[in-house]
């Protein structure tokens, strides 16, 4: 939980005080508590703490543990590094058994305060549903952090959005046999239940067959779990205002199909529905914030499993748009699902702009690493808007090109188009985007390949712990708010 106070009291069990090297160099510290001011100033005068990056020093004053956290030189401090430093401090042994902590920023600019919110809500998140705790573990899991800053609507909104990020992470981190397509449908219904101005359309297997979602259904052929396409229409704006649409890839588990993924590549594939989870997280936040916009939130949810009915390399299927696709590889399945959903959303709901989010290619991870999504678009204005929201929210994205010659790389000799490049190992992220590009027509469209930043397969990365990051929720909400 986060609370805001206009002034530090040092009456809680602990306080985390952020100090730059320049502030430490003045050898003075002022606070509402004379005892704290004197104790910290004494430490600074004795040069026992110099404000170096990541430096921590505890001072006990009356019944309060005051921990100084060095931020290094202010001119070298970024909001990203601030999030990392504060996360590490909050998770340190100093605060392990403490439930209430005051967090005192080095200054109270909006960017700094919102970074502290990120550090607390996103940074200290951990998926522990299936951990059986030992009785002797005295860690206080639920902490209240009192940020010393006057509460305003922007800060309250930042908390709401970050809570939606963690909601998305819960969906991704859950077992794949729990988070099925039907579960995601139920989740969407629960988010909108009792809300006005919101409608939902759900396409089950029978309706998908009737509407000829041949590509999506091909991917799901080997699964015992039912597929779903879910489209939520959020009508917060004026009646005649156009929709902006978000479409998420929802592979609830991806074995690779008959082109089976090897060990080391399959273990985290419950995260292959991160795009759908981001869409649901954004929906949750938009409802809570009551944004006055018209938005489509859509996803296609299937499982790419293996049995005697699995779709096969060399097969040809026809999708909703009437375009035939040769299957060059069954592990290039996400683009098939997205192609049908994107085609349907454009045809039926006619959005003014469409953004898709998908853990689409390993090639994008090779090119950009794990901290940036790949951004590809057919529209300069939309690409600029997405880039601006990526920078504002730290859901980072880097523009990759879409160019005419890519069309030749996905040509097929037996169908209209092929689901992988006919030039092996070449431009994997961009040919995947070009495949999607061939289904959007003239609609302004942006594709976010989030395979890199959506999941942490290790102890931590940046200010995220192990598991899902909830990438895309903050970016989408910011994009919606800015119109």
Mean pLDDT, rounded, of the chain: 95
CATH code, domain carrying 230: 3.40.630.10
Q: Tell whether 96 and 200 lie within a shared domain.
A: no
Grade residue 319 by pLDDT with cuts at 50, 70 and 90: very high
Q: Tell whether 93 and 165 lie within a shared domain.
A: no
Q: Tell whether 168 and 296 lie within a shared domain.
A: yes
Which tokens in the block code for residue 247? 């479409």
Q: Quickly count: other Cβ atoms within 10 Å of residue 202's Cβ.
A: 14
Q: Determine the 3-state secondary structure of 121 from DSSP.
A: helix
Q: Quickly count: other Cβ atoms within 10 Å of residue 412's Cβ.
A: 16
Q: What is the rounded (10 degree) CA torsion for 375, 377, 381, 387?
A: 0
Question: E strands along 53-197, which residues?
Answer: 56-61, 64-70, 100-104, 144-148
| Domain containing residue 314 | 159-482
Domain boundary among 151, 186, 216: 151
CATH code, domain carrying 53: 3.40.220.10
Q: Tell whether 120 and 171 lie within a shared domain.
A: no
Domain count along the chain: 2
Q: Tell whether 174 and 84 lie within a shared domain.
A: no
Residue 135: its pLDDT value, please? 64
- Helix extents (H) in 296-438: 334-349, 362-368, 380-393, 406-409, 428-437
Is residue 298 within a helix (H) or strand (E), and if so which, with residue range?
A: strand 294-304
What is the C-alpha to C-alpha distance for residues 27 and 49, in angstroms, rounded to an integer? Answer: 10
Q: Phi first, then psi: what are they for 480, rounded to 5°? A: -65, -45
Q: Tell whether 120 and 216 lie within a shared domain.
A: no
Residue 139: its pLDDT value, please? 81
Grade residue 483 by pLDDT with cuts at 50, 70 and 90: confident
pLDDT digits (tens, 9 = 90+) for 414-433: 999 999 999 888 899 999 99
Q: Which of 53, 205, 212, 261 is catalytic?
A: 261
pLDDT digits (tens, 9 = 90+) for 351-374: 999 999 999 999 999 999 999 999
Q: Tell whether 228 and 282 lie within a shared domain.
A: yes
Residue 134: its pLDDT value, please? 66
DSSP character at residue 48? S
Q: How many percent of the chain have pLDDT more than 70?
A: 99
Nearest to residue 268, comparing CAs of 259, 255, 281, 258?
255
Sign of CA dihedral 382, 384, 390, 396: positive
- Do residues 326 and 417 touch, judged by C-beta distance below 8 A? yes
Which tokens in the block code for residue 459? 């102890």
Domain boundary among 114, 131, 151: 151
Q: Which residues does residue 456 pair with via DSSP β-bridges, in sequence order?
A: 467
Residue 310: its pLDDT value, please? 97
Q: Tell whether 346 and 470 lie within a shared domain.
A: yes
What is the C-alpha to C-alpha distance for residues 108 and 122, in angstroms, rounded to an integer? Answer: 20
From residue 125, give the alpha-carbon distance in Å to each of 169, 386, 448.
9, 26, 24
What is the C-alpha to C-alpha distance for residues 125 and 93, in angstroms, rounded to an integer? Answer: 16
pLDDT digits (tens, 9 = 90+) for 50-61: 999 999 999 999
Does the pLDDT value for residue 402 go beyond 70? yes
Domain boundary among 151, 179, 196: 151
pLDDT digits (tens, 9 = 90+) for 231-266: 999 999 999 999 999 999 999 999 999 999 999 899
What would the mean pLDDT of 276-281 be, rounded to a whole number? 98
Q: Tell whether 121 and 258 lie within a shared domain.
A: no
Q: How many percent of the chain have pLDDT more than 90?
A: 90
Residue pointed to by tokens 């899902």: 468
Q: Tell whether 143 and 166 lie within a shared domain.
A: no
Answer yes or no: 120 catalytic: no
Answer yes or no: 461 catalytic: no
Nearest to residue 333, comparing CAs of 261, 270, 256, 226?
256
The pairing of strands 56-61 and 14-19 is unpaired
Residue 131: its pLDDT value, please? 87
The pairing of strands 14-19 and 64-70 is parallel
The pairing of strands 294-304 and 316-318 is unpaired
Does the pLDDT value for residue 297 go beyond 70? yes
pLDDT digits (tens, 9 = 90+) for 126-174: 999 998 876 667 788 889 999 999 889 999 999 999 999 999 999 999 9
* Length in residues, the chain: 483
What would the mean pLDDT of 202-228 be, rounded to a whole number? 98
Q: Tell whether 348 and 307 lie within a shared domain.
A: yes
What would the mean pLDDT of 306-334 be, rounded to a whole number? 97
Q: Which of 221, 249, 335, 418 is catalytic?
A: 335
Does the pLDDT value for residue 32 go beyond 90? no
- Do residues 295 and 214 touch, judged by C-beta distance below 8 A? no
Sorted by sequence, the CB contacts under 8 Å of residue 455 that are 6+ apart come out as 172, 268, 271, 274, 359, 467, 468, 469
What is the C-alpha to C-alpha distance for residues 400 and 404, in angstroms, rounded to an integer? Answer: 14
Q: Tell whether 86 and 147 lie within a shared domain.
A: yes
Which tokens in the block code for residue 453? 């930043």
């Amino acid at each position: 939980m986060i609370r805001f106070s206009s002034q530090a009291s040092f009456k809680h069990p602990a306080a985390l005080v952020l100090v730059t090297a320049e502030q430490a160099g003045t050898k003075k510290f002022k606070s509402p508590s004379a005892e704290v001011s004197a104790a910290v100033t004494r430490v600074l005068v004795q040069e026992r703490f110099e404000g170096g990056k990541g430096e921590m020093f505890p001072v006990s004053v009356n019944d309060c543990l005051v921990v100084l956290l060095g931020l290094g030189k202010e001119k070298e401090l970024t909001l990203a590094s601030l999030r990392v430093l504060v996360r590490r401090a909050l998770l340190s042994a100093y605060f392990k058994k403490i439930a209430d902590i005051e967090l005192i920023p080095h200054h109270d600019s909006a960017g700094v305060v919102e970074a502290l919110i990120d550090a607390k809500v996103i940074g200290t998140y951990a998926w522990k549903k299936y951990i059986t705790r030992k009785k002797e573990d005295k860690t206080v899991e639920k902490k209240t952090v009192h940020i010393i800053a006057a509460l305003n609507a922007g800060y309250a909104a930042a908390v709401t959005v970050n809570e939606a990020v963690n909601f998305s992470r819960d969906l991704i981190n859950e077992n794949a046999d729990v988070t099925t397509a039907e579960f995601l449908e139920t989740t969407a219904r629960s988010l909108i239940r009792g809300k006005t101005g919101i409608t939902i359309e759900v396409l089950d297997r029978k309706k998908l067959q009737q509407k000829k979602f041949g590509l999506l259904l091909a991917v799901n052929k080997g699964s015992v779990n039912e597929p779903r396409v879910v489209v939520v229409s959020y009508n917060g704006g004026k009646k005649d205002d156009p929709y902006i649409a978000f479409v998420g890839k929802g592979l609830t588990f991806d074995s690779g199909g008959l082109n089976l993924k090897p060990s080391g590549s399959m273990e985290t594939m419950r995260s292959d529905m991160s795009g759908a989870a981001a869409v649901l997280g954004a929906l949750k936040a938009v409802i809570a914030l009551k944004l006055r916009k018209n938005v489509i939130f859509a996803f296609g949810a299937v499982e790419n499993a293996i049995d005697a009915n699995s779709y096969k390399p060399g097969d040809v299927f026809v999708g909703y748009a009437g375009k035939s696709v040769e299957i060059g590889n069954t592990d290039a399945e996400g683009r098939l699902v997205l192609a049908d959903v994107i085609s349907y959303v454009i045809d039926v709901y006619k959005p003014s702009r469409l953004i898709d989010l998908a853990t689409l290619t390993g090639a994008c991870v090779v090119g950009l690493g794990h901290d940036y999504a790949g951004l590809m678009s057919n529209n300069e204005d939309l690409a600029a808007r997405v880039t601006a929201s990526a920078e504002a929210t730290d859901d980072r994205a880097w523009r990759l090109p879409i160019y005419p010659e890519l069309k030749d790389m996905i040509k097929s000799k037996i169908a209209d188009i092929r689901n992988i490049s006919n030039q092996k190992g070449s431009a994997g992220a961009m040919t995947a985007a070009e495949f999607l590009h061939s289904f959007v027509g003239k609609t302004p469209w942006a594709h976010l390949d989030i395979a890199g930043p959506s999941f942490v397969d290790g102890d931590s990365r940046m200010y995220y712990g192990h598991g899902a990051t909830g990438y895309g929720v903050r970016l989408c909400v910011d994009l919606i708010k800015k119109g």
